[in-house]
Amino acid sequence: MPLPKYIQAIQPQHIFITFGVLTLTSIAGAIALDNFFILILPFFATLLLATLVDFKLIFISLFLLLPISMEMSLPGGIGTDFPSELLMVFLMFSGFCYFGANVKKIDRDFFNHTLTKLVLAHLFWIGLVAILSQIFVISVKYFLAKTWYVTVFVFLGGLFIKTIDDFKKVFWCLLIPMMVAILVILAKHSAYGFSFETINKTTYPFFRNHVNYGVMMVLLVPFAFLVRKWYKFGSIARFIINVGIFLLFVGITFAYTRAAYISLILMPIGYFLFRYKWTKTAITGGVLTLSIALTYLIIGNNYLNFAPDYDKTIYHSNFEDHLEATLALKDLSTMERFYRWVAGINMSTEHVLTGFGPGTFTHFYRSYTSSLFQTYVSDNEDESTVHNYFLLVLIEQGWAGFLIFMTLCIMIFIKGEQIYHETRDPQQQQLIMACLICLLVIMANNFMADLIETDEIGSFFFICMAIIINQDLYNKRNREKITRTIPDNNQSKMENLTN
């Protein structure tokens, strides 16, 4: 696409002079006003110019930041992942401008897709319940954050990741910084003798904890094995990916994340489910099993049988003891989850339609807890949530929001399996399988956490969805193209036969 004339007219010396003036002005302003956020101005201006020249390049560069961004607090009590989330906000506004200026170029089929409509319904409902929230300000902040996640990773992802080459760029932008992050974390962890007790210290500043770290590495595994096959044996690219796979498994091993270990086992199971069209059966079986389990726990208050022994439910500094306590349902983290799940289920009976409001769980749950399930960490100093994303949606968005989100999750797998089997190109088909496995791992982990709300995991969730939607549109258009190219004489022959 040729650049606009006003962009072509910009000379390198003009950019240099403008950047120099902005830099000096921002330095002076930062010193005079004692506000060093002003120093961002020249970089913001450069980013804006780069966006005008090559919007897609800025979008792809976002993935370079995801594995190495840091959580930080901004003025006004706002938490953010720096700099990835700030770039998401910039891309969201840039995306609005792009779509507004190119209305005729918008792929309406993408917006009319079943999965897109469900994502929009999910986003619309979050916006609605944010207005009706018990704490309006917190819920509106949540809604805004969800808006830029969906805008950037679903809609811009759908716009810019249309081919295998597009996906390769995204993959490399994820793999290289992730390898760097793993090496840094392993080096820091080695100073502590790779002990289980110190793993959370070493993941800082890139990851909030070892769970986010471990799960993100697992999500890269199916894509690494996939892209590896696309490069010739002995090539530099394949060698780098081999090193990357080795580092991923080493990182996963020393992350000491139970969810990551289980996810690796889940991957081949997911492959056979999608490969042999068992998705609907698996979903039906899962819903029935969960329904029976919940019915058993609720009837006669049988859930009280799982109440922990407060004195014996402690933190284990040894990973083997931690696993042993997990199997015996006596480890601290699992029992603390039970404590919050009980509170969450009690909360779900109030504000049934609209919930308490997005992002408000930690402000209300304590009065709904049962002291029988209390543990040593129930004071919840880090203000973490219910540790089950599906239950969190039910609590904060009500039954309507829960049903919308569950419909989206179920349809992702049902439609995804169908799209996988309709895809004829081997590379495209393999990519859809990798996306489905990635989504399955995310869903499984969300039974024990709320990972979709993090930039490391949420980005995978929405990008995989965009890739699946684009593949479905490609398949449909390809079928229509084949239909239109059937020779007219074949139609004549058919008419003669019917006569």
Task: Give me the residue spans of the domains in the chain.
Answer: 1-53, 109-480
Peptide bond into 4 cis (omega under 30): no
Give the residue from 377, 427, 496, 499 showing the smallest Cα distance to 228.
427
Of 467, 417, 460, 473, residue with least CA distance to 163: 467
Q: What is the pLDDT of residue 497?
A: 40
Q: If you search the block for the tokens 């930080």, which residue do you land on?
A: 72
For residues 28 and 470, what is the distance between their CA atoms, to the nearest angstrom? 48
Return d(Cα 261, Cα 30) in angstroms, integer: 48
Is-cis flag, bond preceding 358, omega within 30?
no
**CA gap 346, 360 in Å, rounded:** 15
Tokens linked to 190: 């080695």
At 403, which amino acid appears?
Answer: L
Q: Which tokens go with 367? A: 């009065």
Q: What is the C-alpha R_g of the chain? A: 25
CA-CA distances (angstroms) from residue 248 to 126, 203, 419, 439, 446?
A: 35, 14, 29, 18, 21
What type of residue sits at position 436? L
pLDDT digit of tens for each residue in the chain (499 aa)? 455 554 555 555 555 566 566 666 776 776 666 665 666 666 666 666 666 667 788 889 889 889 988 877 655 555 677 778 888 988 898 888 888 877 887 889 999 999 999 999 999 999 999 999 999 999 999 999 999 999 999 999 999 999 999 999 999 999 999 999 999 999 999 999 999 889 989 998 889 888 999 999 999 999 999 999 999 999 999 999 999 999 999 999 999 988 899 999 999 999 999 999 999 999 999 999 988 988 887 786 677 777 776 556 555 555 665 565 565 566 777 788 888 999 999 999 999 999 999 999 999 999 998 888 787 777 877 778 888 999 999 999 999 999 999 999 999 999 999 999 999 999 999 999 999 999 999 999 998 888 888 888 999 999 999 999 999 999 999 888 887 776 555 554 444 444 4
Q: What is the pLDDT of residue 430?
A: 96
pLDDT of residue 331: 72
